[in-house]
Structure formats: structure tokens, C-alpha cells
């Protein structure tokens, strides 16, 4: 797993990027304070939040820093990790947040979820388990490059429906990289498996890019198809119940019936965009099922270290999947072990609030990563015990990507604390007043998709949904017509590494550049706006029983 902080030679584009970034930063910082007129009607409606007439100075300064970092990230004029450190210096100096507040974002629980997941991935790679798993998968889904990409995307999306998209990506990334390594090795015979000097390297490079992006995008798409698949859906449920207490509730079954078709269409669309014109792999005709069966036999039986590493991998996956209860509608199919542990902690005298938050995916990731340092793997030639993980291997962690994630969290926290997200939402609500409903839905999807490229989708949805609820009531349309597609759109940001955890994890592999992610991502962002808008009227409206002419009685003030 490569480190994203490797030095990159400065180019003319990098110099231009620095100049543009500084100029844009200064222009926003020194511009007259923008004004957003308040809508008396929307403020008066239930669920709406009053918007400030002017953008606060900290929020304006944050917008300037965000523009600076966005340009530097996009042009890579500075190393990605270095750009990610800007909030630590800029926020306190500009009065946006204190040094203590901004530094908390860099030690968020999700950062440690990534750290633990990366250690487990390094262990899988260290003991060669990834090669065995990759060969099994290819034997099942077929050896054609498009079929392999589809197989990985389907598997990742299915996992992401029930566990976090972060965990799903962390599980699939080492397997995908192992598949690439195997293809390179097979194309070279017994030569070292490096992509750069392999026959047909350009085809393998393209396949690697498409496969890894497919994993990231499938994790985000799969997540929005269930109420438990992503925190934004959970937040939507909370805001919906609080804003419209008399409205019908969304059960897991109802949400899936309405949204899974959108997810399937989006997944196939993403697969088609990614694999369009994908060249055949070198020597691909000989990669039939029997060929991969022979390769598995050649590996021999799994070693003791492989078996133990697989058990760690399987237990981690099982703990992630079963941490929360499985329910369909009002029926609980499988209780979650996290709730059980929280209950035992409370019974033992632990503060209920602490006990409720004690179980997190990061706890599982770090706990299993630590276990690898004490689980014996084998004895070396001197009779000393080797363990599944050692610190020399762990030092290969992509520290730069952890800083990148921290920088993204710092921006997201500041967007909410300074009121910038609320101001953007309020200004948007005023701009779309009087628009046709279909255009309003498209504009909402466009705003949420591109806004969450730079902000936390949970923070964004928490801020924007109440504004949209008030807007829907003010213009007398069913709030579901706007709020449901808005919630889906926040999971569909595919351009930047900081947009979603899956994007960040895949970028951290060192096999995908930010330019490549942005080129594919912008097309999927735009196509997603069209797809979600069309699906709202063709699928959601009939499935949810939404009237396009009469607002529901429960939404009236």
C-alpha cells in the first residue's frame, strides 16, 4: 500500500495551481460580505431554520480557506498531506476555530477506523492471503476485465448495504490489489509483480484504476440503498420524525423497495462508465476457470499464518456486520451485539451515555489490529516466534491519507460550526423559489452532490434537510419529493478523495491520482443528478404514493 506523501516533481501546472489558489483565497477573503435575504415564509414554517442575513466573517474566511485547499488538492501543487495540514494553521490564525477544536478532527474515531483497517489489510498482504482470495473470486466471476470489475462492484455494494461503506472498502481493497498483483505476475511469468515493466502495462494500469474506483463507488452506492447502510439515511430518519411527527415513517422494507432500484441502476451506470473502452488484459484468453484452479493448486494448502489471518479478517467482518441489529420493517431478525455490550456496561455502572457510544466500528478495527500483534503466525529459522503483525510492517501505513481524511473532517466540522453550510442552504432555498418541482429536485440533487465533495455528508444533511423541509411546506409540495432525493444525493460525491471515506481509502492505495478520480467522478456526479431526478418521479412518486398536485395534510402548518 503506497504512501500518498511521496515527493512529486514540481511542474508548471503546480506553479500555476499555487498562484490560482492564493489569488482565489485572497479574492474571497477580501470580498464584500455577501448577503442572503431571508425568506419570511420559509422561516415561519415548521422544520425551517432562520438564516443569517449576512455571512459571518469566520464563515467567509472558511470559504476562502476551502477554495485554497480545493485548488491545491485538485492541481496537486502541494503534496496532498501537506495541503491537509492547512486547517491546523489557518483556522486559529483566521479566527475560524481554536487550535484545540480543529485538532480534534484529526483524531476522530473514523480516522482510527481507517488506521485499524489498514493494519488488517497489511496483514492480509504480508501473509499472502490476498492472492488466494483474489484467485477464488476471479474463478467465480470470470476472467474478463469487465466481468471482474462487475463482480467486485456487486460484492462491495452488497457489503455496504449492511455495514459502513468504510468497512466495506477496507475489506475489498486488499483483495482488489491482490488481483492486480496476480494479473501482473501472470503476464510476466515468474518475474517480480510490478506493473510498470509488465507486458501490457497500460492495459493493466487502466484495469487497476477502474477496479479500485469501482470498489469505492460501489461502496457509496450500496450504502444509500438501506436505512442502515449510511449515517446520512439514519440522520434523515431522525430529522423526518422530528420535523413531521404526524407523517408516515420509513421502514427498512419501504426504503429498500423505493431506493434499491435506483442503486441497481446507478451501479450499472457506474460500471458502464468505468469500463467503457476497457482494453483486454494481456494473455486474457488463457485465463479461463481451469487456469485459475490450477494456480490455486500451485499455491498449495493454506499455511497456519494464512488460516489465522483469515480468521482475523472473517471475525472483523462478522463483528462489523452484526454490531447493529438486523431488522426488516418492525421485525428484528438478528439482534446486534453492540447493543448487548452497551447494556452490560450500563448494568455494570458505566454512564449510560458513554456505554451507548462505547461500541463503534473503530473499536472493532483497533481491537482486531492489536490482536494481530499477539497472535503467533510461525517460527522463523532461528526458532523465534513471528506474529501476524509487527511494527516494521505497520510503519508502511499510508500516514498521508490519514492526514488527508483529518483535513476533510476539519473542513466539515468548520462548515457546520461557522454556519457556512446553513448559509449556503438558505441562499439556495431563496434562489429556487418559484421553480418547477422537477427543476427544484434537480437543483437540490446538484447542490448536495457537489457540496458534499468538500463537506461531511452527515453534517451537510443535518444542516440542509430542515431548510428543504421548510421550503417544501412553503411552496406546498410533499416534503418527501425533495428530502428523499437530497438524502440519496449526499452519498453520490465521486470526484475528490475527501468527498467520501471510500474515495479516500482508494486514493490512499497510491494507484489512483486525484485527476483520474475527478475525471471519472464528475461524469458520475452529473449522471447521478439526472438519474436521481428521473427516478424521483418515475420510481419514488408511485412507490411512496406522493401526490404532485396536493400537499399531504400532515405537512400543513
Query: For residues 54 and 382, which has the higher predicted lDDT (pLDDT)?
Result: 382
| Averaged pLDDT for residues 143-172 | 81
Residue that has been written with the C-alpha cell 460525491 in this structure:
493
- Proportion of the chain above pLDDT 70, given as a percent: 80
CB neighbour class for 263 (10 Å; exposed up to 12, middle 13-18, buried from 19): buried
Give pLDDT, residue 339: 80
Give pLDDT, residue 411: 78
Range with the largest mean pLDDT of 2-16, 345-359, 450-464: 345-359
Return d(Cα 441, Cα 195) in angstroms, integer.
44
pLDDT at 140 over 90: no
Q: Is the dihedral of CA 62, 67, 72, 74 positive or negative?
A: positive
Return d(Cα 408, Cα 424) in angstroms, integer.
18
Give pLDDT, residue 425: 62
Instruction: Please tell me the least confidently modeled range out of 152-156, 305-309, 412-416, 535-539.
Output: 412-416
E strands, 417-524, are none
Give pLDDT, residue 134: 65
Averaged pLDDT score across all residues of the chain:
79
Return d(Cα 554, Cα 478) in angstroms, integer.
10
| Averaged pLDDT for residues 218-241 | 80
- The DSSP secondary-structure symbol of 279 reads P
Residue 377: its H or E element: strand 376-379
What three-state secondary structure class fits 548?
coil
Check: CB of residue 487 under 8 Å from CB of residue 411.
no
pLDDT band (50, 70, 90) for residue 557: low
Give pLDDT, residue 517: 92
Range with the largest mean pLDDT of 62-71, 177-186, 475-484, 530-539: 530-539
Half-sphere exposure for 507 (CA within 13 Å, toward CB): 31
Give pLDDT, residue 244: 81
189 CB contacts (<8 Å, ≥6 apart)? none
Range 264-294 burial, b when 16+ CB lie within 10 A, else e:
ebbbebbbebbbeebeebbebeebeeebbee
Residue that has been written with the C-alpha cell 492526514 in this structure:
403
**DSSP state letters, 211-270:** HHHHHHHHHHHHHTTSTTSSHHHHHHHHHHHHH-TTSPP--HHHHHHHHHHHHHHHHHHH
398's torsion region: left (phi>0), alpha (psi -120 to 50) or beta?
Answer: beta
Count of C-beta atoms within a 10 Å radius of residue 225 = 26
Distances 529 to 214, 526, 534 between C-alpha atoms, Å: 19, 5, 9
pLDDT at 39 over 60: no
| Averaged pLDDT for residues 395-415 | 77
Check: CB of residue 137 under 8 Å from CB of residue 179.
yes
pLDDT at 247 over 70: yes
Residue 103: its H or E element: helix 99-105
Return d(Cα 282, Cα 188) in angstroms, integer.
10
Q: What is the pLDDT of residues 493-524, one digit of tens each?
A: 899 887 888 898 898 888 898 889 999 999 99
509 CB contacts (<8 Å, ≥6 apart)? 1, 2, 173, 177, 212, 398
Check: CB of residue 267 under 8 Å from CB of residue 157.
yes
pLDDT band (50, 70, 90) for residue 462: low
Distances 4 to 115, 397, 502, 507 between C-alpha atoms, Å: 15, 10, 15, 8
169 CB contacts (<8 Å, ≥6 apart)? 156, 160, 215, 216, 219, 501, 502, 505, 506
What's the grid cell of residue 420? 457556512
pLDDT at 50 over 50: no
Give pLDDT, residue 463: 63
pTM > 0.85: no
| Averaged pLDDT for residues 68-87 | 82
Inter-residue long-range contacts of 551-554, CB under 8 Å, 24+ positions, other chains counted: 551/473, 551/476, 551/477, 551/478, 552/247, 552/478, 554/244, 554/246, 554/247, 554/248
Instruction: Please tell me the least confidently modeled range out of 130-144, 293-307, 391-405, 475-489.
Output: 130-144
pLDDT at 380 over 70: yes
Q: What is the pLDDT of residues 100-116, one digit of tens each?
A: 989 988 887 777 877 88
Residue 332: its H or E element: strand 331-334
Parallel/antiparallel/unpaired status of strands 326-328 and 331-334: antiparallel
| Averaged pLDDT for residues 370-381 | 90
Give pLDDT, residue 3: 40
Give pLDDT, residue 410: 82
Q: What is the pLDDT of residues 197-226, one digit of tens each?
A: 444 568 888 999 999 999 999 999 998 887
Count of C-beta atoms within a 10 Å radius of residue 189 = 7
Return d(Cα 538, Cα 543) in angstroms, integer.
9
What's the grid cell of residue 188? 510476466
Q: What is the pLDDT of residues 323-344, one digit of tens each?
A: 776 654 456 667 778 888 888 8
Amino acid at each position: 500500500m503506497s504512501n500518498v506523501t511521496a515527493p512529486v516533481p514540481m511542474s508548471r501546472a503546480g506553479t500555476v495551481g499555487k498562484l490560482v489558489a492564493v489569488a482565489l483565497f485572497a479574492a474571497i477573503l477580501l470580498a464584500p460580505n455577501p448577503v442572503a435575504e431571508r425568506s419570511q415564509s420559509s422561516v415561519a414554517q415548521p422544520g425551517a431554520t432562520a438564516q443569517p442575513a449576512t455571512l459571518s466573517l469566520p464563515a467567509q474566511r472558511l470559504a476562502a480557506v476551502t477554495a485554497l485547499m480545493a485548488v491545491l488538492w485538485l492541481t496537486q501543487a502541494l503534496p496532498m498531506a501537506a495541503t491537509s495540514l492547512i486547517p491546523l494553521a489557518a483556522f486559529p490564525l483566521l479566527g475560524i476555530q481554536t487550535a484545540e477544536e480543529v485538532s480534534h478532527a484529526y483524531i476522530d474515531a473514523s480516522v482510527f477506523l481507517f488506521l485499524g483497517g489498514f493494519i488488517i489489510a497489511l496483514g492480509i498482504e504480508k501473509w499472502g492471503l490476498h492472492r488466494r482470495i483474489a484467485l477464488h473470486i476471479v474463478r467465480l466471476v470470470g476472467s474478463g476485465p469487465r466481468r471482474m470489475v462487475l463482480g467486485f462492484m456487486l460484492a462491495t455494494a452488497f457489503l455496504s448495504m449492511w455495514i459502513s461503506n468504510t468497512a466495506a472498502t477496507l475489506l475489498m481493497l486488499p483483495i482488489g490489489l491482490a488481483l492486480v498483483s496476480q494479473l501482473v505476475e501472470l503476464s510476466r511469468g515468474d518475474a517480480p509483480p510490478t506493473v510498470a515493466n509488465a507486458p501490457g502495462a497500460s492495459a493493466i494500469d487502466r484495469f487497476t484504476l477502474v477496479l479500485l474506483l469501482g470498489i469505492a463507488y460501489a461502496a457509496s452506492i450500496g450504502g444509500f440503498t438501506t436505512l442502515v447502510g449510511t449515517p446520512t439515511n439514519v440522520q434523515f430518519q431522525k430529522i423526518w420524525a422530528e420535523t413531521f411527527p404526524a407523517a408516515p415513517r420509513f421502514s427498512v422494507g419501504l426504503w429498500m423497495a423505493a431506493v434499491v432500484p435506483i442503486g441497481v441502476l446507478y451501479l450499472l451506470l457506474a460500471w458502464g462508465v468505468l469500463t467503457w473502452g476497457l482494453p483486454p488484459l494481456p494473455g486474457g484468453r488463457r485465463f479461463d476457470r481451469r487456469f485459475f484452479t490450477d494456480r490455486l493448486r500451485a499455491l498449495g494448502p493454506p499455511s497456519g499464518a494464512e488460516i489465522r489471518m483469515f480468521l482475523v479478517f472473517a471475525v472483523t467482518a462478522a463483528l462489523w456486520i452484526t454490531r447493529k441489529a438486523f431488522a426488516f420493517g418492525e421485525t428484528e431478525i438478528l439482534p446486534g451485539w453492540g447493543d448487548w455490550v452497551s447494556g452490560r456496561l450500563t448494568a455494570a455502572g458505566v454512564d449510560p451515555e458513554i456505554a451507548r457510544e462505547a461500541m463503534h466500528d473503530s473499536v472493532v478495527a483497533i481491537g482486531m489490529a492489536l490482536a494481530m500483534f499477539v497472535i503467533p503466525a510461525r517460527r522463523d529459522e532461528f526458532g523465534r516466534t513471528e506474529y501476524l503483525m509487527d511494527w516494521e510492517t505497520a510503519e508502511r501505513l499510508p500516514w498521508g491519507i490519514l492526514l488527508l481524511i483529518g483535513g476533510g473532517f476539519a473542513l466539515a466540522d468548520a462548515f457546520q460550526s461557522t454556519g457556512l453550510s446553513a448559509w449556503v442552504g438558505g441562499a439556495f432555498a431563496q434562489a429556487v423559489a418559484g421553480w418547477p418541482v422537477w427543476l427544484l429536485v434537480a437543483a437540490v440533487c446538484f447542490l448536495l452532490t457537489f457540496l458534499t465533495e468538500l463537506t461531511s455528508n452527515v453534517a451537510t444533511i443535518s444542516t440542509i434537510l430542515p431548510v428543504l423541509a421548510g421550503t417544501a411546506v412553503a411552496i406546498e409540495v410533499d416534503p418527501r419529493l425533495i428530502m428523499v432525493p437530497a438524502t440519496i444525493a449526499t452519498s453520490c460525491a465521486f470526484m475528490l478523495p475527501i468527498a467520501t471515506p471510500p474515495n479516500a481509502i482508494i486514493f490512499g492505495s497510491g494507484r489512483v491520482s486525484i485527476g483520474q478520480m475527478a475525471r471519472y467522478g464528475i461524469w458520475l456526479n452529473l449522471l447521478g443528478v439526472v438519474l436521481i431526478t428521473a427516478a424521483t418521479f418515475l420510481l419514488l412518486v408511485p412507490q411512496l404514493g406522493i401526490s404532485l398536485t396536493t400537499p399531504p395534510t400532515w405537512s400543513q402548518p
